Amino acid sequence: MSSTTTENGSSEANAAAAPGSQEERALNFVKMLLEKMQMDADATFPPDDGESGEDEIRIEIEGPDAGRVIGKRGSVLEAIQYLTTRVAHRPGDPRKHIAVDAEGYRARHEDQLAEMAEKLARRVAQEGKVITFDPMSARDRRIVHMALKDIAGVRTESHGEGQDRRVQIIPVKPAS
């Protein structure tokens, strides 16, 4: 799908989501939710920064109440994203990942988490001791796994069930 950039920086492909498309269903649902929550905020497709793929729908929430939409440790934002995914996906449609962010919270959180994981991985490689994270969401576990997949001297594994699932950074002994 080709796209051109509009005056506000968003691509036409995003700005004019096809009627009945996953993109349109997702955006309309988030807008409706914000209205029902009586939040002074709006949902839009953010400008294409080159980081998202064809299989991702990104929605940004901005406005005076956007901070309230995040909730404690992102819990409200996570719930909005989950519900939006459930509403937007229809049987037979190719499944697209839906990412809902507010005021750049997710991007900052992901960067901080990846940075901390890399710092801990260097420590694991140096000291040879396993480090286990506190339980975290599937999305956060994936961020850690992806951040460390190319770090020499360590590997990652997830252990536990449900809400208690956590990531371990494990030292890898060099082959001798």
Angle 16-42-63 (CA atoms, 0-180°, nearest 5)? 140
Distance between CA 78 and CA 122 in Å, rounded?
A: 30
Tell me if the domain spanning 108-171 has CATH number 3.30.1370.50. yes
Cα dist. 35→43, 53, 59, 106 in Å? 10, 29, 16, 22
Cα dist. 168→58, 144, 155 in Å? 29, 10, 8
Sheet holding 131-132, edge to edge: 131-132, 166-171, 154-159
Distance between CA 97 and CA 52 in Å, rounded?
A: 10
Please tell me the predicted confidence (pLDDT) of residue 6. Answer: 38
Residue 140 exposed, middle or buried by CB count within 10 Å (0-12, 13-18, 19+) = buried
* Tokens standing for residue 54: 């064809």
For residue range 22-71, what is the model confidence (pLDDT) as tens digits? 999 999 999 999 999 999 999 999 887 666 567 889 999 999 999 899 98
Angle between helices 138-148 and 105-127 (to 10 degrees): 50
pLDDT at 148 over 80: yes
pLDDT at 173 over 90: no
Contacts of 13 (CB under 8 A, 6+ apart): 1, 2, 3
Question: Which of 152, 117, 151 minimizes the C-alpha distance to 134?
Answer: 117
What CATH superfamily is the domain 12-103? K homology (KH) domain (3.30.300.20)
pLDDT at 80 over 90: yes
Asked if 151 and 120 count as a contact pair (C-beta separation under 8 A), the reply is: no
pTM of the entire structure?
A: 0.67
* Mean pLDDT taken over the chain: 85
DSSP string, 9-23: S-BHHHHTPPTTSHH
Residue boundaries of the structural domains of the chain: 12-103, 108-171
For residue range 95-117, what is the model confidence (pLDDT) as tens digits? 888 999 999 998 899 999 999 99
Question: Which of 124, 131, 116, 132 minimizes the C-alpha distance to 172?
Answer: 124
